[in-house]
Protein backbone atom coordinates (compact mmCIF):
# COMPACT_ATOMS: atom_id res chain seq x y z
CA UNK A 1 0.00 0.00 0.00
CA UNK A 2 1.08 3.55 -0.77
CA UNK A 3 -0.03 7.00 0.34
CA UNK A 4 0.55 9.11 -2.77
CA UNK A 5 3.38 11.09 -1.17
CA UNK A 6 6.16 10.99 -3.77
CA UNK A 7 9.60 10.30 -2.27
CA UNK A 8 11.69 11.04 -5.32
CA UNK A 9 11.72 11.04 -9.08
CA UNK A 10 13.60 8.59 -11.23
CA UNK A 11 15.01 8.98 -14.73
CA UNK A 12 14.53 6.30 -17.38
CA UNK A 13 17.98 5.31 -18.67
CA UNK A 14 17.09 2.32 -20.83
CA UNK A 15 14.02 0.44 -22.12
CA UNK A 16 14.34 -3.21 -23.16
CA UNK A 17 11.62 -5.08 -25.03
CA UNK A 18 11.08 -8.67 -23.90
CA UNK A 19 8.24 -10.06 -26.00
CA UNK A 20 5.27 -7.84 -25.12
CA UNK A 21 6.87 -6.73 -21.84
CA UNK A 22 9.14 -3.74 -21.26
CA UNK A 23 11.93 -3.65 -18.71
CA UNK A 24 12.81 -0.15 -17.54
CA UNK A 25 16.21 0.73 -16.11
CA UNK A 26 15.88 3.79 -13.89
CA UNK A 27 18.36 6.01 -12.11
CA UNK A 28 17.19 7.15 -8.70
CA UNK A 29 18.54 8.21 -5.29
CA UNK A 30 16.32 5.44 -3.88
CA UNK A 31 18.14 2.68 -5.79
CA UNK A 32 20.65 1.98 -3.02
CA UNK A 33 17.81 1.32 -0.58
CA UNK A 34 15.87 -1.06 -2.83
CA UNK A 35 15.98 -4.83 -2.95
CA UNK A 36 14.82 -7.41 -5.47
CA UNK A 37 11.11 -8.35 -5.12
CA UNK A 38 10.28 -5.02 -3.46
CA UNK A 39 7.25 -3.12 -4.75
CA UNK A 40 7.65 0.50 -5.77
CA UNK A 41 5.12 2.92 -7.21
CA UNK A 42 6.03 4.41 -10.63
CA UNK A 43 3.72 7.24 -11.74
CA UNK A 44 1.04 5.51 -9.68
CA UNK A 45 1.77 2.00 -10.96
CA UNK A 46 2.98 -0.67 -8.53
CA UNK A 47 5.89 -2.59 -10.10
CA UNK A 48 8.32 -5.18 -8.71
CA UNK A 49 12.06 -4.52 -8.57
CA UNK A 50 13.84 -7.22 -10.59
CA UNK A 51 17.46 -5.99 -10.42
CA UNK A 52 19.44 -3.43 -8.42
CA UNK A 53 22.86 -1.84 -8.98
CA UNK A 54 24.51 1.09 -7.21
CA UNK A 55 22.32 3.94 -8.38
CA UNK A 56 20.03 2.15 -10.82
CA UNK A 57 17.37 -0.55 -10.70
CA UNK A 58 15.06 -2.39 -13.08
CA UNK A 59 11.33 -3.10 -13.17
CA UNK A 60 9.25 -4.94 -15.77
CA UNK A 61 5.80 -3.88 -16.99
CA UNK A 62 3.59 -6.45 -18.72
CA UNK A 63 1.53 -5.69 -21.83
CA UNK A 64 -1.72 -5.07 -19.89
CA UNK A 65 0.02 -2.47 -17.71
CA UNK A 66 1.52 -0.77 -20.76
CA UNK A 67 -1.90 -0.58 -22.44
CA UNK A 68 -3.86 0.63 -19.42
CA UNK A 69 -1.37 3.22 -18.10
CA UNK A 70 0.95 5.88 -19.48
CA UNK A 71 4.05 3.71 -18.88
CA UNK A 72 3.86 2.59 -22.50
CA UNK A 73 4.67 6.16 -23.58
CA UNK A 74 7.77 6.49 -21.40
CA UNK A 75 10.98 7.25 -23.26
CA UNK A 76 14.64 7.37 -22.29
CA UNK A 77 15.15 10.49 -20.11
CA UNK A 78 11.48 10.51 -18.97
CA UNK A 79 11.02 11.47 -15.32
CA UNK A 80 8.91 9.15 -13.17
CA UNK A 81 7.37 9.83 -9.74
CA UNK A 82 8.49 7.20 -7.18
CA UNK A 83 7.15 6.02 -3.84
CA UNK A 84 8.09 2.94 -1.84
CA UNK A 85 5.44 1.00 0.11
CA UNK A 86 4.34 2.59 3.36
CA UNK A 87 6.01 0.98 6.39
CA UNK A 88 3.67 -0.40 9.06
CA UNK A 89 4.83 2.28 11.50
CA UNK A 90 4.77 5.11 8.97
CA UNK A 91 2.69 8.28 8.90
CA UNK A 92 -0.38 8.26 6.68
CA UNK A 93 0.22 11.64 5.02
CA UNK A 94 -1.79 11.14 1.81
CA UNK A 95 -4.64 8.70 1.25
CA UNK A 96 -4.96 4.95 0.59
CA UNK A 97 -3.24 4.28 -2.75
CA UNK A 98 -2.98 0.73 -4.08
CA UNK A 99 -0.79 1.38 -7.09
CA UNK A 100 -3.51 -0.10 -9.32
CA UNK A 101 -4.29 2.48 -11.98
CA UNK A 102 -7.98 2.62 -12.89
CA UNK A 103 -7.57 4.45 -16.18
CA UNK A 104 -5.67 7.21 -17.89
CA UNK A 105 -6.83 10.79 -18.17
CA UNK A 106 -5.70 13.78 -20.18
CA UNK A 107 -4.41 17.11 -18.91
CA UNK A 108 -6.52 19.77 -20.62
CA UNK A 109 -5.21 22.96 -19.06
CA UNK A 110 -2.37 24.29 -16.91
CA UNK A 111 -2.69 27.71 -15.32
CA UNK A 112 -0.15 29.46 -13.12
CA UNK A 113 -1.91 31.25 -10.27
CA UNK A 114 0.16 33.50 -7.98
CA UNK A 115 2.91 31.00 -7.23
CA UNK A 116 0.87 27.82 -7.51
CA UNK A 117 -0.59 25.95 -10.48
CA UNK A 118 -4.07 24.75 -11.44
CA UNK A 119 -4.32 21.61 -13.56
CA UNK A 120 -7.52 20.48 -15.31
CA UNK A 121 -8.03 16.85 -16.30
CA UNK A 122 -10.63 14.92 -18.30
CA UNK A 123 -11.35 11.19 -18.25
CA UNK A 124 -13.82 8.75 -19.79
CA UNK A 125 -16.71 8.41 -17.30
CA UNK A 126 -18.11 5.28 -19.03
CA UNK A 127 -15.77 3.19 -16.86
CA UNK A 128 -17.87 4.13 -13.83
CA UNK A 129 -15.11 6.02 -12.04
CA UNK A 130 -15.96 9.31 -10.38
CA UNK A 131 -14.55 12.13 -8.30
CA UNK A 132 -16.22 14.13 -5.54
CA UNK A 133 -15.63 17.69 -4.43
CA UNK A 134 -12.75 17.82 -1.91
CA UNK A 135 -12.22 14.06 -2.33
CA UNK A 136 -8.92 12.34 -3.06
CA UNK A 137 -7.41 11.37 -6.41
CA UNK A 138 -4.03 9.89 -7.29
CA UNK A 139 -2.45 11.41 -10.42
CA UNK A 140 0.80 9.83 -11.61
CA UNK A 141 1.27 8.55 -8.06
CA UNK A 142 0.60 11.90 -6.35
CA UNK A 143 -2.17 12.15 -3.73
CA UNK A 144 -4.22 15.28 -4.43
CA UNK A 145 -7.51 16.93 -3.47
CA UNK A 146 -10.18 17.34 -6.15
CA UNK A 147 -12.18 20.47 -6.77
CA UNK A 148 -14.45 21.61 -9.59
CA UNK A 149 -15.55 17.96 -9.79
CA UNK A 150 -17.74 17.15 -12.80
CA UNK A 151 -18.92 13.95 -14.48
CA UNK A 152 -15.83 13.60 -16.67
CA UNK A 153 -13.40 16.23 -15.39
CA UNK A 154 -11.86 17.80 -12.32
CA UNK A 155 -9.23 20.28 -11.21
CA UNK A 156 -6.35 20.09 -8.72
CA UNK A 157 -4.09 22.76 -7.27
CA UNK A 158 -0.34 22.15 -7.09
CA UNK A 159 1.88 23.96 -4.60
CA UNK A 160 5.43 24.99 -5.61
CA UNK A 161 7.09 22.12 -3.70
CA UNK A 162 4.98 19.45 -5.43
CA UNK A 163 5.40 21.20 -8.79
CA UNK A 164 9.18 21.13 -8.63
CA UNK A 165 9.69 17.85 -6.70
CA UNK A 166 7.45 15.64 -8.92
CA UNK A 167 7.06 15.40 -12.68
CA UNK A 168 4.15 17.88 -12.61
CA UNK A 169 6.59 20.60 -13.78
CA UNK A 170 6.87 18.83 -17.13
CA UNK A 171 3.13 18.12 -17.53
CA UNK A 172 1.35 20.07 -20.26
CA UNK A 173 -2.04 20.15 -21.94
CA UNK A 174 -2.55 17.00 -24.03
CA UNK A 175 -0.38 14.76 -21.84
CA UNK A 176 -1.72 11.44 -20.58
CA UNK A 177 -1.70 10.76 -16.82
CA UNK A 178 -2.41 7.70 -14.68
CA UNK A 179 -5.49 8.00 -12.48
CA UNK A 180 -6.31 5.94 -9.41
CA UNK A 181 -9.67 6.91 -7.95
CA UNK A 182 -10.32 6.79 -4.20
CA UNK A 183 -10.73 3.15 -3.08
CA UNK A 184 -13.27 4.13 -0.40
CA UNK A 185 -15.43 5.83 -3.01
CA UNK A 186 -15.21 2.77 -5.26
CA UNK A 187 -16.34 0.44 -2.47
CA UNK A 188 -19.22 2.74 -1.48
CA UNK A 189 -20.36 3.01 -5.08
CA UNK A 190 -20.23 -0.79 -5.44
CA UNK A 191 -22.26 -1.31 -2.24
CA UNK A 192 -24.87 1.27 -3.21
CA UNK A 193 -25.03 -0.17 -6.71
CA UNK A 194 -25.71 -3.65 -5.34
CA UNK A 195 -28.55 -2.33 -3.18
CA UNK A 196 -30.22 -0.55 -6.08
CA UNK A 197 -29.81 -3.36 -8.58
Question: What pLDDT score does 196 carry?
Answer: 45
pLDDT in tens, 97-151: 999 999 999 999 999 999 899 999 999 999 889 999 999 999 999 999 999 999 9
Which DSSP letter does residue 146 get?
Answer: -
Strands 45-52 and 142-145: unpaired
Run of H or E including 191: helix 183-196
- Rounded Cα gap, residues 197 and 111, in angstroms: 42
DSSP label at residue 190: H
Distance CA 70, CA 74 (A): 7
Question: What strand order describes the sheet that includes 136-139?
Answer: 142-145, 136-139, 176-181, 103-113, 116-122, 153-158
**3-class DSSP assignment, residue 93:** coil
Pairing of strands 79-84, 8-18: antiparallel
pLDDT at 194: 57
Residue spans of the chain under pLDDT 70 = 194-197
Cβ 12 vs Cβ 80: under 8 Å = yes
pLDDT at 195: 46
Contact 36, 175 (CB under 8 A): no
Q: Is 189 helix (H, G, I), strand (E, B) or coil?
A: helix
The continuous run of DSSP H or E covering 65 comes out as: helix 63-68
Amino acid sequence: MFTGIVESTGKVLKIDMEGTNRTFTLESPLAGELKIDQSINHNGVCLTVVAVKEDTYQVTAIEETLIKTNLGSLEVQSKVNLERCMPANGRFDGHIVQGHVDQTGVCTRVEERDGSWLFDFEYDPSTGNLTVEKGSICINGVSLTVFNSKENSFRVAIIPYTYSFTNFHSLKAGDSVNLEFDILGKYIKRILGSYTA
